[in-house]
Amino acid sequence: MAPLPNAELVQNSLQLYRYLLRCCKRLPEERIRQHYRHAVRQSFKVHADEDDPERIQQIIKRAIEDADWVMNK
């Protein structure tokens, strides 16, 4: 399953959050979708206080790579 198009356009945390939730909608089983939606929400709570722009970009890049891996699994 290919990732959603325009992943390269994700520039901030809100765009990333929306992108990842859209990816979750494309997963095949409901329990898998629920698991990854929960993981996305928890991850955003953990990183909510991050204020270093460079670190935020690293997190965005890694999250998109991880989503790509999950979608191709």
Give me the residue spans of the domains in the chain.
13-72
Residue whose pair of structure tokens reads 């953990």 in the numeric block: 46
Is 62's pLDDT higher than 90?
A: yes
Of residues 40 and 10, more confidence is placed in 40
pLDDT tens, 11-61? 889 999 999 999 999 999 999 999 999 999 999 999 999 999 999 999 999
CA 73 vs CA 3, 35, 51: distances in Å: 11, 15, 32
Going through 1-73 in order, the beta strands assigned E by DSSP cover none
DSSP 3: P
Q: Say which amino acid occupies 19.
A: Y
- What pLDDT, on the 0 to 100 scale, is given for residue 34? 96
Q: Which stretch of DSSP H or E encloses residue 7? A: none
